[in-house]
Amino acid sequence: METVPSSQGFKSADSFAPKGYAPMPFNFKRLDDGRFVLGNLSGDFATLTDTEFHLFVDGKLPVSSATYRMLHSKCFLTDDSGDWPVRLAASKLATRLERNSELTSLFIFVVTLRCNCSCQYCQVSRQSADRLSFDMSEATAEQAVGLVFSSPCPCIKIEFQGGETLLNFELIKRITNLVEARNKTAVRNVEFVVATNLIEISDEQLTFLHEHSFYVSTSLDGPASLHDMNRPVIGLSSHDAAERNIARVRAALGNDHVSALLTVTRSSLDKPREIVAEYQRQGFHEIFLRAISPFGYAKRSVGRTGYSTDAYIEFFKLGLREIIETNKRGYFMAESATALMLGRIFTPQNEGFVNLQNPAGDGMMCMVFNYDGGVYLSDEGRMLAENGDYTFRLGNVGKCTFRDLLTSDKLTEIVDDTMLEGTVGCHACPYQTLCGADPVYHYATQGRWIGNRATSSFCKRQTAKIEHVLKLLENPEDKAVLMTWLH
């Protein structure tokens, strides 16, 4: 029979205190004056005052203190109470990496480069709506669908990109039907998304999208004046068209089947309140305060639309404040980047967002089939190609197997170079689990996909956003709002 604990009275709390401890591996950096932030492999975070920090690393933190107990419960130390922090850390790490091991889930089909819009910040060298040579062929589409089902991933997302996708709707129908036919035997969890500017959508198209449970992703840059300036279309207001058609999509597909993507341009910087208000006015419950991408065609318009990283960070903070206040006024709205961060802080899950993976999700988790059959490891990679740089092309749908693509020298080299534990600057960063490597971004801005964190605007932006959110979480009222964004 096992030893029986005492049943009389209360043993003093101190009698359960350990005799000594050893820190577990962690990274740290200064958060602000007088405080350090610590982050570990299991994705737990702690902030300590300088005094607490030095006591902790010197092995002198009082074992019964609240700080000690907090660090213990977050897997920052082990003591003679047992190996449970190691088991929990391992379990959280495994949960996070499980997503990466499922391999590619997002397949982007660029069905056409033709477009009816001439956005200032367009990342693709758009082609006028009548040049059919920029459409994907049926043969290419069929080969690409074959590659999709070579991925072992149980969840498959098919995303149609352009150009303006609806200009080649016949091919969208063809691919959708092909995928569904293949899936009768493959039995994956398949989801379809179409990105469209919604300048024009027919009832027949809506019916088809509804029948196949599509999600529609469109653009909304803010109120009409801003949106129309960013997204000019000859002869009409692209904002009015989008608003009218967003309502039609909701009516046909359901409220939660349409989302909008914001592109922040220089003209947006002083209008965070107006932009958030417009999202609320149009009934959106999620907004992504996304910085402009310095890729492809957009790089040429930097003079007109670009801005400094500092200016973006300021905009992000103001926008996030406005969104939080909107929630406090009773209207639910989440900011996507913040929600993602919160998911990684408070749960062990990896939501699979391609641009924030370690190692990079490009190729491993996402694959792009360009209209001409070129296979790229990300949408940004194919945008570079439209400007003549084929660095991120992995092969061609007709010539490669899924295995060829995933095991190509190029992809394995990129994976090798984007493990944050081994990249200079990231290796000691406490925010590894909230961040990722973006090889295309660093290649486009710094000339090397591995990048240099000391001068990386990606790193600067990420660090600022993460630290801003960590500080917001210290305010109980803001935290109460932010926690409702978890799902």
Partner 1 sequence: MQLQAKFDFGFNSEPFLAKVGKVSDPDVRELTPVSTTGGRPLCLSFGEKNDDVPNSVCVGRQFSYLAEGDIVRIDPNAGEMRVVFRTNSIHNVIFMTERCNCRCIMCVQPPQNVDDSWRNRENLELIAALPKDLKTICVTGGEPTLNKEAFLNVVKALAEHLPDTDVHILSNARTFNDVPFVKAYADATNNRFTIGVPLHGVEPQAHDFIARSQGAFNQTINGLLNLAANKRQVEIRVVVHRYTAEHLADIAEFVVKNLPFVVHVAFMGMEPVGYAKSNFENLHVPESVWWGGAAQACKLLDAVGIPVSIYNVPICLLREDLRLYSRQSISDWKRTFLPICETCKAKNDCCGLFESFAGLPNIGLKAK
User: What are the residues binding partner 1 (CB under 8 A)?
Assistant: 1-2, 4-7, 10-11, 13, 15-18, 43-44, 64, 69-70, 72-73, 81-84, 87-88, 91-92, 95, 346-349, 480, 483-484, 486-487
Q: Would the CA dihedral through 347, 350, 354, 359 be positive or negative?
A: positive
CB of 71 to partner 1, least distance (A): 9
Rounded to 5°, the CA angle 284-285-286 comes to: 100
CB of 8 to partner 1, least distance (A): 9
Choose between 72 and 126: whose C-beta lies nearer to partner 1: 72
Choose between 40 and 104: whose C-beta lies nearer to partner 1: 40
Choose between 6 and 133: whose C-beta lies nearer to partner 1: 6
Q: How remote is the C-alpha of 71 from its chain's centroid?
A: 29
Extract the tokens encoding 316: 């992000």
Rounded to an integer, what distance in angstroms lies between the CA atom of residue 273 and that of residue 173?
39
CB of 351 to partner 1, least distance (A): 12
Dihedral (Cα; 388, 392, 396, 401), 10-degree rounding: 180
CB of 464 to partner 1, least distance (A): 24
Would you mind telling me the total number of residues written for the chain in this entry? 487
CB of 56 to partner 1, least distance (A): 15
345 Cβ contact partners less than 8 Å away, ≥ 6 residues apart: 43, 45, 434, 473
CB of 68 to partner 1, least distance (A): 9
Choose between 81 and 128: whose C-beta lies nearer to partner 1: 81
CB of 475 to partner 1, least distance (A): 14
CA separation, residue 57 to residues 76, 161, 255 (Å): 11, 51, 52
| Strand, helix or coil for residue 116 | coil
Choose between 87 and 281: whose C-beta lies nearer to partner 1: 87
Choose between 30 and 87: whose C-beta lies nearer to partner 1: 87
Residue that is written with structure tokens 């959106």 in the block: 284
CB of 358 to partner 1, least distance (A): 19
Choose between 4 and 187: whose C-beta lies nearer to partner 1: 4
Choose between 22 and 234: whose C-beta lies nearer to partner 1: 22
Rounded to an integer, what distance in angstroms lies between the CA atom of residue 275 and that of residue 297?
25
Number of helices (H) and strands (E) in the chain: give both, helices first. Answer: 19, 15
CB of 153 to partner 1, least distance (A): 21
Q: Are 321 and 294 in contact (CB under 8 A)?
A: no
3-state helix, strand, coil in the chain (%, to 5): 45, 15, 40
CB of 146 to partner 1, least distance (A): 34
Choose between 58 and 83: whose C-beta lies nearer to partner 1: 83
Choose between 9 and 388: whose C-beta lies nearer to partner 1: 9
Rounded to an integer, what distance in angstroms lies between the CA atom of residue 246 and that of residue 196?
11
| Amino acid occupying residue 100 | N
Rounded to an integer, what distance in angstroms lies between the CA atom of residue 136 and that of residue 398?
13
Q: Are 224 and 277 in contact (CB under 8 A)?
A: no
Q: Are 112 and 142 in contact (CB under 8 A)?
A: no
Rounded to an integer, what distance in angstroms lies between the CA atom of residue 294 and that of residue 301?
9
259 Cβ contact partners less than 8 Å away, ≥ 6 residues apart: 215, 216, 217, 218, 284, 286
